[in-house]
């Protein structure tokens, strides 16, 4: 898997974030974040009190007021800095993508001849010809030809990929390079609407929408802010009635410490960083909702071929017949595969090497290659000494041997059925009129898949494998891979049916796909991950696109989604919990002088009312930048039940959110008290 992790603290990124954080002090921008907007209004009121003493009531300690104003200003700036830093990573990625956009000349096909035009003039429906060494001018689909395409500018992978007309791998992206052959491409996007344009727009955050959970949390924070605002406003007349003088700066300090400023300052950064995190894994999320939905997935639909298995039948074992030796069969199988460049043919030679056997390669090399044909269903080598070696379908080999008057081994049928029952494909090997045995071909499960599915099971996610194989083969692969369920002889409608059935039970469903026939199911799924190598319709139907075309990456996407939810939940827990300690700093400080009995609540034994207020405010400001790395990188997700996750969350971030402020405020007060 290709990842493009960028340093969060690169110099250029930090400089940009610092400048943007000052720009975000604009009230028009700040009002988008109600919690921090209230802090900014409070800072403005304190500034008025500094500039015009007595304007908002009696207040004689200008030095303390200046300190409170600066602390509040720093608090707002830290919150803006967190958001600007998260956006800066997206902008850095967007800048690198913009470098891949270049004006190239295209060979536009007009009435049977070609005319050279700038790529910016191409429109949807135009047809262009792209030859070896030329850039593909815009997004499109191959309608004629086959070519090897270098997509490293987009995906970061250096190995070229094969693209051809009429298949699931016909989609091409503007800015990629044709390294061999010639193709005819029909353009599928208008200027400014290409895949690269959409990527740039998305990673810059211009089209980022808040997710439902983010909106719900934002609403909660707004409600809490309004409630505490009402509480603080009503404190003033109550205190006046009791002849207790509460300065405006003290009330502002109380409000700032009561409202959830920590999570309010980090909420936007968490959301932006969540989308940025999947982009670093070369997955393009069309919205933050897709990332968050991945975190709540209950069911995962996966194709078998290319996702769970390698997608190519590989030689697994040599099964001799009629009492022949296994190494003898293996050597003739290798001779028959000498000129076979298919994955199956190469796997025979690889299996021979793994078993520590050798064969006479010169014997095969001197022979004449017999290519596989659909009519004969066999391939092999005609040796110089007249012997003919063949490898192919069992019934085809039987027919070939019988035509020469050869003997059919009695145990051939039983071994053939044994391989078929195990879900494999039997290939017979014969030399002239003698059959030596069977090569067991099987679609091999990728290493580590069973462990990954077990990990998903611990997350509470049910896995369903979809395959067009017969039930016997499907059951064998499902058992080896460790999936929870499977659908054999699966058609596109079956995928939609299982998605709808799961969704009807209130579950969120994720699936992968790359073909046009996958598009309906990708659109139906809550999280649809399309392969960049797939068709345009598949990419348009999905809400995520994997630039590396690795279907198994859906597992990582789910982990990132859960990490996003955990990060937001953990920091919310911490933010609300650390308010508890601030209550014990501010409330006693406000009323201790007028009501000495309130001193019993001063359990932290803070030096004075003023030092208590300043210490709580300083801690409130400092905690935001300290939590920025967690907001950006995310809380590490560990597969476990929801109950265990909640208990762990409360223990670490809940208890930590209570204890940390007690320690932090007390340590700050030791120094602040000396000044005050």
Of 105-109, 312-316, 434-438, 461-465, the range with the highest mean pLDDT is: 434-438
327 and 435 assigned to the same domain: yes
* 303 labelled catalytic: yes
Of 177-181, 204-208, 583-587, the range with the highest mean pLDDT is: 177-181
* Pairing mode, strands 509-513 and 527-531: parallel
Strands annotated E in 50-167: 105-110, 113-118, 127-131, 140-150, 161-164
Residue 374 marked ligand-binding: yes
Q: For the segment 209-230, what is each residue's pLDDT rounded down to a tens digit?
A: 565 676 777 788 888 888 888 9
Identify the band that residue 84 occupies on the pLDDT scale cut at 50, 70 and 90.
Answer: confident
Range of the domain at 153: 123-190
| Tokens, residue 310 | 């390698």
Segment 69-73 mean pLDDT: 90
The pLDDT of residue 98 is 60
Residue 1 has pLDDT above 70, yes or no: no
The answer to whether position 103 is within a domain reads no
CA distance 598 to 249: 20
Per cent of the chain over pLDDT 90 is 11
Residue 317's DSSP bridge partners are: 440
Segment 277-289 mean pLDDT: 75
CA distance 492 to 511: 12
Residue 507 marked ligand-binding: no
The CATH number given to whatever domain includes residue 417 is 3.40.1110.10
Domain end residue (candidates: 407, 440, 473) = 440
The total of structural domains in the chain comes to 4
Domain end residue (candidates: 491, 523, 547) = 547
Residue 7 has pLDDT above 50, yes or no: no
214 and 346 assigned to the same domain: no
Residue 339 has pLDDT above 80, yes or no: yes
The pLDDT of residue 214 is 67
Segment 420-428 mean pLDDT: 82
| Tokens, residue 535 | 């068709």
Identify the band that residue 313 occupies on the pLDDT scale cut at 50, 70 and 90.
Answer: confident
The answer to whether position 429 is within a domain reads yes
CA distance 530 to 547: 9
239 and 365 assigned to the same domain: no
Domain end residue (candidates: 492, 515, 547) = 547
496 and 579 assigned to the same domain: no
The answer to whether position 582 is within a domain reads yes
When mean pLDDT is compared across 303-307, 424-428, 457-461, the lowest value belongs to 303-307
470 and 571 assigned to the same domain: no
The answer to whether position 284 is within a domain reads no
Residue 372 marked ligand-binding: yes
The answer to whether position 257 is within a domain reads yes
The pLDDT of residue 129 is 92
Residue 207 marked ligand-binding: no
Marked catalytic residue, from 126, 139, 197, 303: 303
The answer to whether position 112 is within a domain reads no
Segment 540-566 mean pLDDT: 80
CA distance 145 to 522: 28
335 and 408 assigned to the same domain: yes
Segment 115-126 mean pLDDT: 85
Residue 379 marked ligand-binding: yes
End-to-end alpha-carbon separation of the chain, Å?
57
CA-closest candidate to residue 248, choices 92, 61, 94, 123 = 61
Whether the pTM exceeds 0.85: the reply is: no
Residue 40 marked ligand-binding: no
Residue 177 vs residue 532, higher pLDDT: 177
The answer to whether position 197 is within a domain reads no
Residue 169 marked ligand-binding: no
The CATH number given to whatever domain includes residue 151 is 2.70.150.10
Identify the band that residue 429 occupies on the pLDDT scale cut at 50, 70 and 90.
Answer: very high
Question: Is the CA virtual torsion 579, 581, 586, 592 positive or negative?
Answer: positive
CB contact set of 95 (below 8 Å; sequence gap of 6+): none
Write the DSSP assignment of 117-128 as a string of letters.
EEGGG--TT-EE
CA-closest candidate to residue 563, choices 279, 289, 273 = 273
* Pairing mode, strands 140-150 and 105-110: unpaired
CA distance 463 to 456: 8
71 and 220 assigned to the same domain: yes
The CATH number given to whatever domain includes residue 474 is 3.40.50.1000
The answer to whether position 50 is within a domain reads yes
The pLDDT of residue 371 is 85
CA distance 13 to 576: 30
Q: For the segment 125-181, what is each residue's pLDDT rounded down to a tens digit?
A: 899 999 888 888 888 888 888 888 877 656 545 557 778 787 666 788 787 888 878
669 and 563 assigned to the same domain: yes
360 and 426 assigned to the same domain: yes
431 and 452 assigned to the same domain: no
Note whether 163 and 211 are within 8 A (CB): no
Residue 639 has pLDDT above 80, yes or no: no
434 and 453 assigned to the same domain: no
78 and 210 assigned to the same domain: yes
Residue 340 marked ligand-binding: yes
The pLDDT of residue 11 is 65
């Amino acid at each position: 898997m290709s990842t493009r992790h960028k340093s969060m603290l690169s110099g250029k990124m930090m400089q940009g974030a610092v400048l943007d954080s000052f720009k975000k002090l604009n009230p028009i921008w700040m009002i988008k974040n109600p919690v921090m907007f209230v802090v900014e209004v409070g800072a403005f009121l304190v500034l008025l009190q500094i500039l015009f003493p007595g304007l908002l009531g009696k207040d004689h300690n200008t030095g303390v007021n200046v300190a409170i104003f600066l602390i509040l200003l720093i608090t707002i700036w830290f919150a803006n800095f967190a958001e600007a830093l998260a956006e800066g990573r997206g902008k850095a990625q967007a800048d690198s993508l913009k470098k891949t956009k270049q004006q190239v000349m295209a060979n536009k096909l007009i009435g049977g001849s070609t005319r050279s035009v700038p790529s910016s003039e191409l429109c949807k429906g135009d047809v262009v010809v792209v030859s070896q060494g030329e850039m593909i001018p815009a997004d499109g689909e191959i309608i004629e030809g086959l070519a090897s395409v270098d997509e490293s500018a987009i995906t970061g992978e250096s190995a070229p990929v094969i693209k051809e007309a009429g298949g699931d791998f016909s989609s091409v992206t503007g800015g990629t390079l044709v390294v061999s052959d010639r193709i005819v491409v029909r353009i599928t996007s208008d200027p400014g609407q290409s895949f690269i344009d959409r990527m740039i727009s998305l990673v810059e955050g211009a089209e980022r929408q808040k997710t439902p959970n983010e909106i719900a949390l934002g609403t909660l924070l707004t409600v809490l802010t309004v409630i505490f605002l009402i509480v603080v406003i009503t404190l003033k007349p109550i205190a006046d009635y009791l002849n207790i003088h509460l300065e405006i700066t003290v009330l502002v300090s109380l409000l700032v410490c009561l409202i959830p400023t920590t999570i309010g300052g980090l909420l936007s950064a968490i959301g932006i960083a969540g989308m940025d995190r999947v982009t670093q894994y070369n997955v393009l999320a069309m919205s933050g909702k897709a990332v968050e939905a991945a975190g709540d997935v209950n069911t995962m639909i996966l194709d078998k071929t290319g996702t769970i298995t390698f997608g190519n039948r590989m030689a697994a074992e040599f099964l001799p017949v009629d009492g022949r030796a296994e190494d003898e069969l293996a050597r003739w199988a290798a001779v028959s595969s000498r000129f076979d460049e298919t994955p199956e043919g190469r796997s025979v030679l690889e299996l021979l090497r793994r078993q520590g056997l050798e064969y006479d390669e010169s014997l095969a090399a001197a022979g004449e290659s017999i290519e596989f044909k659909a009519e004969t269903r066999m391939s092999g080598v005609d040796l110089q000494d007249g012997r003919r070696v063949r490898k192919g379908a069992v019934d085809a080999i039987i027919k070939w041997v019988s035509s020469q008057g050869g003997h059919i081994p009695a145990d051939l049928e039983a071994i053939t059925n044994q391989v078929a029952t195990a879900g494999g494909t039997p290939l017979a090997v014969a030399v002239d009129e003698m059959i030596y045995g069977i090569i067991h071909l099987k679609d091999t499960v990728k290493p580590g898949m069973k462990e990954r599915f077990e990990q998903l099971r611990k997350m509470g996610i049910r896995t369903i494998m979809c395959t067009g194989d017969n039930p016997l083969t499907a059951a064998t692969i499902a058992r080896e891979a460790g999936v929870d369920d499977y659908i054999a002889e699966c058609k596109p409608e079956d995928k939609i049916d299982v998605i709808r059935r799961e969704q009807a039970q209130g579950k969120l469903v994720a699936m992968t796909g790359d073909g046009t026939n996958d598009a309906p199911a990708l659109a139906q799924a809550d999280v649809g991950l399309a392969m960049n190598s797939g068709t345009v319709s598949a990419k348009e139907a999905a809400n995520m696109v994997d630039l590396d075309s690795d279907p198994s990456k859906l597992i990582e996407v789910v982990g990132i989604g859960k990490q996003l939810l955990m990060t937001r939940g953990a920091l919310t827990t911490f933010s609300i919990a650390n308010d508890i300690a601030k209550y014990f700093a501010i409330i006693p400080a406000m009323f201790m002088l007028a009501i000495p009995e309130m001193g019993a609540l001063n359990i932290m034994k803070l030096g004075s009312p003023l030092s208590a207020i300043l210490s709580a405010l300083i801690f409130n400001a400092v905690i935001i930048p300290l939590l920025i790395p967690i907001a950006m990188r995310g809380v590490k997700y560990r597969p476990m039940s929801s109950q265990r996750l909640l208990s762990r969350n409360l223990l670490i971030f809940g208890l930590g959110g209570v204890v940390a402020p007690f320690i932090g405020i007390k340590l700050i007060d030791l120094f602040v008290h000396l000044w005050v």
